[in-house]
Amino acid sequence: MIKRYLLTKYETYEHEAAKVLQSIDAETELWFYLRDAIHNKKEKDSLLLSQRLGFNRYAVDLALKFGQVDEAIAIAQREENPFRTRLHWHSIAKYFIDSGESMTKLFDLLKITDELKIDDILHMLPDDFSLDEQLRDRVCQVLDSYDGTFERMKASVEDSTLIIKNIKDDIEQFSQR
């Protein structure tokens, strides 16, 4: 109880979460401090504490809410769970589309991560969206890189098919003995 009182008193200091984090052991204290930071609209403290508690999804949403896209991207890149990573990248892409940010930045996201594909963002674009020459070139670059990926995958499938055929032949030879 005294610890909570002292934390509330520290409220007047800027970004005290970074200083206090080392001395806070109990998760419940972090929860209290996170709630307090959100209530008092302390952006950096909210982000830091939500990440410390493992609320990366919430941290990405907070970073985007505060306009800190680079921080949201950093959180998405640090995420270990592939499903959550995909959700983070979708949230960031949705932010770019909804906020009217430059579409070139949106297509640059495709180069940063393998978790976000062009077909993931095409359905998010507004119906009246039209590609200008610069964006059309970016989309073509992304599609060309997919073509190379498909060719590699096709070659891999053909190699695997040949290996399977050889294994079947070996099994047939052993069964005839």
Note the pTM of the prediction, 2 decimals.
Answer: 0.60
CA–CA distance, 118 with 115 (Å, rounded to integer): 10
DSSP-assigned letters across all residues of 59-96: HHHHHHHTT-HHHHHHHHHH---HHHHHHHHHHHHHHH
Specify the pLDDT at position 159. 92
Same domain for 118 and 138, yes or no, is no
Same domain for 47 and 82, yes or no, is no
Please report whether residue 167 resides in a domain. yes
Same domain for 124 and 144, yes or no, is no
Same domain for 75 and 125, yes or no, is yes
Residue ranges of the chain with per-residue pLDDT less than 70 = 1-28, 101-102, 130-135, 138
Q: What is the extent of the structural domain holding 90? A: 69-129
- If DSSP codes are grouped into helix, strand and coil, which group holds residue 170? helix
- Torsion on CA atoms 148, 149, 153, 156, rounded to nearest 10: 70
| Eight-state DSSP code of residue 135 | H
C-beta neighbour count of 174 within 10 angstroms? 8
The total domain count for the chain is 3
Residues 116-131: tens digit of each pLDDT:
777 777 777 777 776 6
Residues 48-71: tens digit of each pLDDT:
877 777 888 888 888 888 888 888
Please report whether residue 64 resides in a domain. no
